[in-house]
Amino acid sequence: MSVLTVSSLRKSFGGLHVTRGVNLDIAAGERRLIIGPNGAGKTTLFNLITGELSPDSGSVRLFSNDITRVPSRRRPHLGMARTYQIITLFPHDTIIHNVSLALLGLSPLRWNPLIDMKRQSHIVERGHEALARVGLGHIAERPLSQTSYGERRRVEIAMALAQKPKVLLLDEPFAGLSIDERRDVHRCLMSIPRDVTMVMIEHNMDVALEFAERITLLHFGEVIVEGTRAEVVADPRTREVYLGH
Interacting residue ranges for other proteins, rule: CB under 8 A: 50, 52, 72-74, 76-77, 81-82, 84, 88-92, 97, 100-102, 104-107, 109-118, 120, 159, 163
Cβ proximity to other proteins, 62 vs 207, nearer residue: 62
Work out how close the CB of 217 gets to other proteins at its nearest, in angstroms, rounded to a whole number. Answer: 26
Cβ proximity to other proteins, 93 vs 129, nearer residue: 93
Cβ proximity to other proteins, 157 vs 232, nearer residue: 157
Q: How far apart are CA 73 and CA 52, in angstroms?
A: 9
Alpha-carbon 162 to chain mean position? 13
Parallel, antiparallel or unpaired: strands 197-201 and 167-171: parallel
Whether 218 contacts 211, CB under 8 Å: no
CB-based contacts of 99, cutoff 8 Å, min separation 6: 127, 130, 131, 140, 155, 158, 159, 162
User: HSE (CB half, 13 Å, CA atoms) of 86?
Assistant: 0
Cβ proximity to other proteins, 94 vs 238, nearer residue: 94
Cβ proximity to other proteins, 144 vs 232, nearer residue: 144
Work out how close the CB of 142 gets to other proteins at its nearest, in angstroms, rounded to a whole number. Answer: 18
Work out how close the CB of 173 gets to other proteins at its nearest, in angstroms, rounded to a whole number. Answer: 15
Work out how close the CB of 119 gets to other proteins at its nearest, in angstroms, rounded to a whole number. Answer: 9
The alpha carbons of the chain give a radius of gyration, in whole angstroms, of 18
Work out how close the CB of 51 gets to other proteins at its nearest, in angstroms, rounded to a whole number. Answer: 9
